[in-house]
């Protein structure tokens, strides 16, 4: 599903964010990505979304080499992936429901189907009663869960989550993790970046550890 | 929390490349949703968009008014028929029967609508009545007035008048031909010049409007930069992002066109009485005729199209510069 082959990434300003990273994630696998702040976790996830281009090696997602993906195919590539961003990236001019609906609307689902799926996704994260509210009126933890609902609403084959439990108390974190685990049981591949030690200890999954852009352990 | 349903083993729009045909009927629904959403957004901020609409309306109205006036005048040249009449004066010695013969020959020409024979004695009677010099004229030994033909051409064009003049020159009975087409010719030339200017102005205005509407919409895109960035992160293609802005352009154009039609109507109806007065001085029943319903619809459609084109040419490029 996801394959990194000797990937290096250097930002234009000259910083090496990733150095010679190689790993592979299979269908239905749930993997943690850990490391200190600035280790390169977000950069790695952004490469998978083709939000950045790697400066060395190859990133292969769903069989497609992202380095050779034509510009016009990038939107289609991103639609296969459900993404949870560290800073939520919600649209503050529209309701919670409309935020969650975004991936479905991009994929031009019929409105009735959009509504059905949005409600199902909000129900999964316990926010069904907030559907019509504006995101600005939600707490940080609630905003994060809106982001999670939006990531899963399209039933993607891959889910990427950047610090998805950063703003959640242990109880809500556990619920979010169980939602993710259910997805992995039905064949979705997940890569979850987190430096939350207790989360990694409570949920035993394969863990990729980054240190200053290098992959230092995988297991 | 609810259980997860079996995942997408069947292919959904998200998992395949292009837009699936089975969803095409619902694309209309999707479009309608985008269309009504951008309309609502426009109505929510009527200030700035209202200003753009007024600019569009005024800019479109000016050339439209010019074209309307000149085409009105051109179409009404027929009503200044009298001015196009040709008068042929016979030599004094030409008798009535000879003159009538010429009259018949002229009448048979395709270019001639009507020939009126005014004999020398008729002319004298008319003149003495009109001048009030009845008794004095009666005392003259000889009628000083020639007989004449008043010829009304079939069409009031300079060409027609020319043809008639040339054939009149072939009759030796005719001493002198007087025609009034020269000023008509000048008027026509002037009108067609003004008309061309109106057309040119229309093109310039269209270009100006494309710039103005395009700019207004680019400002709108800029103000949604963050939103657009997020939509791109979730795989929104540029065309998807552009769609509401294209509708905005369409609405701005259509509203501007509608307002231009209303302004034209107001201007024409306020000019009406003054024009009728001038026309009556020329013995003409000339009237200003405004746009027909169809022409109004055409103007609004053209304005809407212009708005769409403006949005299309400016927005896609702008969106492409925003990176996710
Ligand atoms: N847009 C950027 N431009 C330049 N450097 C960046 C950019 N984003 C991240 N970096 C740098 O790349 C390194 C890895 O960052 P990041 O992937 O965000 O780490 P993490 O998510 O593990 O905290 C850091 O040193 C960071 O400063
Ligand atoms: Mg990070």
Query: Residue B181 — very low, low, confident or very high, per pLDDT cuts 50/70/90?
Result: low
Co-location of A150 and A179 in the same domain: no
- CB distance B4–A124 less than 8 Å? yes
pLDDT at B20: 44
User: B132: phi > 0 → left, psi -120 to 50 → alpha, else beta; which?
Assistant: left
Q: Which of B27, B227, B230 sits opposite A108 (nearest CB)?
A: B27
- When the pLDDT of each residue in chain B is averaged and rounded to a whole number, the result is 81
Examine residue B167 and state whether it is found in any structural domain, yes or no.
yes
Q: Which residue out of B32, B235, B321 would a mutagenesis test of the A interface target, given it has the greatest number of A Cβ atoms within 10 Å? A: B235
Co-location of B193 and B221 in the same domain: yes
Mean pLDDT of the region B75-104 = 78
Co-location of B52 and B94 in the same domain: no
Examine residue A106 and state whether it is found in any structural domain, yes or no.
yes
Co-location of A178 and A150 in the same domain: no
- CB distance B7–A183 less than 8 Å? yes
Domain, as residue range, for A101? 90-154
Query: Residue B66 — very low, low, confident or very high, per pLDDT cuts 50/70/90?
Result: confident
Co-location of A71 and A172 in the same domain: yes
Co-location of A146 and A162 in the same domain: no
Half-sphere exposure of A154 (CA within 13 A, CB side): 34
Question: What's the total number of domains in chain A?
Answer: 2
Examine residue B8 and state whether it is found in any structural domain, yes or no.
no
Per cent of chain B over pLDDT 70 is 83
Co-location of A150 and A163 in the same domain: no
**DSSP 3-state assignment of A64?**
strand
- Per residue in B138-160, pLDDT (tens digit) is 777 777 788 888 888 887 677 88
Half-sphere exposure of B158 (CA within 13 A, CB side): 9
Query: Residue B8 — very low, low, confident or very high, per pLDDT cuts 50/70/90?
Result: very low
- Per residue in B255-271, pLDDT (tens digit) is 999 999 999 999 888 88
What's the distance, CA A94 to chain centroid? 22
Per cent of chain B over pLDDT 90 is 26
Co-location of A34 and A118 in the same domain: no
Examine residue B22 and state whether it is found in any structural domain, yes or no.
no
More confident residue, A91 or B276: A91
Examine residue B16 and state whether it is found in any structural domain, yes or no.
no
More confident residue, A195 or A49: A49
Between CA A58 and CA A21 the distance in angstroms is 10
Residue count of chain A, please give it: 219
Last residue of a domain, one of A138, A154, A170: A154
More confident residue, A152 or B42: A152
Examine residue A85 and state whether it is found in any structural domain, yes or no.
no
Mean pLDDT of the region B80-88 = 69
- Whether residue A68 contacts residue A19, with contact meaning beta carbons closer than 8 Å, is answered with no
Co-location of A13 and A102 in the same domain: no
Between CA B33 and CA A121 the distance in angstroms is 22
Between CA B298 and CA B313 the distance in angstroms is 22
Report whether residue A13 contacts ligand 1, using a CB cutoff of 6 Å: yes
φ/ψ (deg, to 5) at A31: -125, 135
More confident residue, B49 or B108: B108
For chain A, the C-alpha Rg in angstroms (whole number) is 17
- CB distance A109–B23 less than 8 Å? yes
Co-location of A74 and A6 in the same domain: yes
Mean pLDDT of the region B125-131 = 75
Q: Which atom of ligand 1 is nearest to the CA of A41?
A: 22
DSSP of B97-125, one letter per residue? HHHHHHHHHHHTSTTEEEEEEE-HHHHHH
Examine residue A21 and state whether it is found in any structural domain, yes or no.
yes
Span of A172-176, A187-191, B299-303 with lowest mean pLDDT: A172-176
pLDDT at B319: 92
Instruction: Looking at the complex, report in whole angstroms how far the Cα of residue B224 sits from the nearest Cα belonging to chain A.
Output: 10
Co-location of A63 and A160 in the same domain: yes
pLDDT at B18: 41
pLDDT at A207: 95
Q: Which residue out of A51, A75, A87, A115 would a mutagenesis test of the B interface target, given it has the greatest number of B Cβ atoms within 10 Å? A: A75
**Ligand 1 atom 3 nearest Cα:** A11
Co-location of A52 and A73 in the same domain: yes
More confident residue, A101 or B277: A101
User: Which residues on chain A are in Cβ contact (under 8 Å) with B11?
Assistant: none
Examine residue A123 and state whether it is found in any structural domain, yes or no.
yes
Co-location of B129 and B231 in the same domain: no
Between CA A17 and CA A52 the distance in angstroms is 12
- When the pLDDT of each residue in chain A is averaged and rounded to a whole number, the result is 93
The number of helix segments (H) and strand segments (E) in chain B equals 10, 4
- CB distance A182–B234 less than 8 Å? no
- Whether residue B202 contacts residue B63, with contact meaning beta carbons closer than 8 Å, is answered with yes
Examine residue B11 and state whether it is found in any structural domain, yes or no.
no
- CB distance B1–A126 less than 8 Å? yes
- Whether residue A71 contacts residue A78, with contact meaning beta carbons closer than 8 Å, is answered with no
Last residue of a domain, one of B180, B204, B227: B180
Co-location of B209 and B121 in the same domain: no
- Per residue in B198-229, pLDDT (tens digit) is 889 889 999 999 999 999 899 889 989 999 99
B288 CB contacts (<8 Å, ≥6 apart)?
Answer: B69, B72, B268, B271, B272, B275
pLDDT at B131 over 90: no
Last residue of a domain, one of A104, A134, A154: A154
What's the distance, CA B162 to chain centroid? 30
ipTM of this predicted complex? 0.92
Co-location of B141 and B274 in the same domain: no
Smallest CA–CA distance from A128 into chain B, residue: B1
User: Shortest CA distance to A100 belongs to which of A127, A136, A137, A75?
Assistant: A127
Co-location of A116 and A206 in the same domain: no
Q: Which atom of ligand 1 is nearest to the CA of A36?
A: 22
pLDDT at B10: 44
pLDDT at B76: 67
Co-location of B118 and B222 in the same domain: no
Examine residue B291 and state whether it is found in any structural domain, yes or no.
yes
Tokens of B197: 């200017």
Query: Residue A116 — very low, low, confident or very high, per pLDDT cuts 50/70/90?
Result: very high
pLDDT at B24: 58
Co-location of B256 and B274 in the same domain: yes
Last residue of a domain, one of B134, B151, B180: B180
User: Shortest CA distance to B188 belongs to which of B64, B75, B276, B281?
Assistant: B75
pLDDT at B304 over 70: yes
User: Shortest CA distance to A82 belongs to which of B315, B183, B234?
Assistant: B234
Co-location of B148 and B55 in the same domain: no
Span of A66-75, B154-163, B188-197, B239-248 with lowest mean pLDDT: B154-163
- Whether residue A179 contacts residue A148, with contact meaning beta carbons closer than 8 Å, is answered with yes
Co-location of B72 and B203 in the same domain: yes
More confident residue, A189 or B134: A189
Mean pLDDT of the region A63-88 = 93
Last residue of a domain, one of A127, A154, A181: A154
Question: What CATH number has the domain bearing residue A196?
Answer: 3.40.50.300
pLDDT at B82: 52
Residue count of chain B, please give it: 324
User: Which residues on chain A are in Cβ contact (under 8 Å) with B6?
Assistant: 186
Examine residue A126 and state whether it is found in any structural domain, yes or no.
yes
Query: Residue B277 — very low, low, confident or very high, per pLDDT cuts 50/70/90?
Result: confident
Co-location of B89 and B237 in the same domain: no
Mean pLDDT of the region B230-251 = 93
More confident residue, A60 or A166: A60
Decide if A126 touches B, using CB distance below 8 A.
yes
- CB distance B235–A79 less than 8 Å? yes
Co-location of B208 and B314 in the same domain: yes
User: Which residues on chain A are in Cβ contact (under 8 Å) with B13?
Assistant: 107-109
List, edge to edge, every strand of the sheet that includes B86-90: B112-118, B148-153, B86-90, B174-179
Last residue of a domain, one of B180, B212, B237: B180
CA-based max dimension of chain B? 125
Instruction: Looking at the complex, report in whole angstroms how far the Cα of residue A178 sits from the nearest Cα belonging to chain B.
Output: 10
Co-location of B153 and B192 in the same domain: no
Examine residue B157 and state whether it is found in any structural domain, yes or no.
yes
Report whether residue A19 contacts ligand 1, using a CB cutoff of 6 Å: no
Mean pLDDT of the region B31-47 = 76
Helix (H) or strand (E) holding A82: strand A81-84
Between CA B222 and CA B227 the distance in angstroms is 10
Between CA A128 and CA A97 the distance in angstroms is 9
Examine residue B10 and state whether it is found in any structural domain, yes or no.
no
Half-sphere exposure of B169 (CA within 13 A, CB side): 7
Question: What CATH number has the domain bearing residue B129?
Answer: 3.30.70.3040
Bridge partners (DSSP) listed for residue A30: A190
Domain, as residue range, for B156? 85-180
Question: What's the total number of domains in chain B?
Answer: 2
Co-location of A74 and A166 in the same domain: yes
Q: What is the pTM of this model?
A: 0.73
- Whether residue A115 contacts residue B20, with contact meaning beta carbons closer than 8 Å, is answered with no
DSSP symbol at B85: -
Instruction: Looking at the complex, report in whole angstroms how far the Cα of residue B313 sits from the nearest Cα belonging to chain A.
Output: 19
Between CA A197 and CA B47 the distance in angstroms is 53
């Amino acid at each position: 599903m996801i394959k990194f082959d000797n990937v290096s990434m250097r930002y234009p300003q000259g910083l090496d964010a990733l150095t010679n990273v190689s790993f592979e994630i299979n269908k239905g696998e749930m993997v943690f990505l850990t490391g200190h702040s600035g280790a390169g976790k977000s950069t790695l996830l952004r490469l998978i979304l083709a939000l950045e281009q790697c400066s060395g090696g190859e990133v292969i997602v769903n069989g497609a080499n992202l380095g050779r993906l034509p510009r016009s195919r990038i939107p289609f590539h991103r639609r296969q992936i459900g993404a949870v961003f560290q800073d939520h990236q919600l649209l503050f001019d529209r309701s919670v429901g409309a935020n969650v609906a975004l991936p479905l609307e991009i994929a031009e689902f019929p409105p009735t189907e959009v509504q059905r799926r949005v409600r199902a996704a909000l129900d999964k994260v316990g926010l069904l009663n907030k559907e019509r509210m504006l995101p600005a009126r939600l707490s940080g933890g609630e905003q994060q869960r809106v982001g999670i609902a939006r990531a899963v609403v399209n039933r993607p084959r891959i889910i990427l989550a950047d610090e998805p439990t950063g703003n959640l108390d242990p109880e809500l974190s556990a619920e979010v993790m169980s939602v993710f685990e259910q997805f992995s049981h039905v064949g979705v591949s997940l890569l979850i970046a987190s430096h939350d030690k207790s989360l990694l200890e409570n949920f035993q999954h394969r863990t990729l550890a980054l240190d200053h852009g290098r992959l230092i352990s995988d297991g | 929390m609810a259980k997860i349903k079996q995942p997408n083993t069947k292919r959904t729009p998200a998992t395949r490349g292009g837009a699936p045909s089975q969803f095409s009927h619902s694309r209309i629904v999707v479009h309608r949703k985008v269309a009504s959403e951008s309309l609502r957004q426009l109505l929510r901020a009527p200030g700035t968009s209202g200003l753009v609409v007024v600019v569009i309306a005024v800019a479109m109205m000016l050339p439209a008014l010019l074209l309307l006036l000149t085409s009105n005048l051109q179409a009404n040249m027929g009503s200044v028929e009298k001015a196009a009449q040709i008068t042929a004066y016979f030599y004094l010695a030409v008798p009535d029967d000879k003159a009538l013969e010429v009259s018949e020959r002229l009448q048979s020409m395709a270019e001639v609508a009507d020939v009126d024979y005014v004999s020398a004695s008729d002319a004298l009677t008319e003149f003495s009545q009109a001048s009030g010099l009845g008794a004095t004229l009666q005392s003259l030994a000889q009628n000083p007035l020639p007989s004449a033909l008043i010829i009304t051409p079939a069409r009031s064009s300079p060409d027609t008048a020319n043809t008639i003049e040339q054939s009149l020159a072939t009759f030796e009975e005719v001493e002198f031909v007087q025609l009034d087409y020269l000023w008509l010719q000048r008027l026509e030339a002037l009108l067609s010049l003004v008309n061309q200017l109106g057309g040119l102005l229309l093109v310039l205005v269209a270009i100006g409007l494309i710039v103005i509407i395009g700019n207004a919409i680019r400002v709108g895109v800029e103000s949604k930069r963050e939103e657009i960035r997020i939509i791109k992160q979730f795989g929104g293609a540029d065309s998807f992002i552009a769609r509401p802005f294209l509708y905005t352009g369409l609405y701005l154009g259509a509203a501007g066109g509608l307002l231009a039609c209303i302004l034209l109507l107001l201007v024409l109806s306020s000019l009406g009485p003054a024009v009728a007065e001038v026309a009556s001085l020329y013995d003409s029943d000339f009237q200003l005729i405004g746009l027909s319903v169809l022409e109004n619809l055409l103007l609004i459609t053209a304005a809407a199209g212009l708005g769409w084109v403006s949005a299309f040419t400016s927005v896609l490029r702008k969106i492409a510069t925003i990176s996710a």
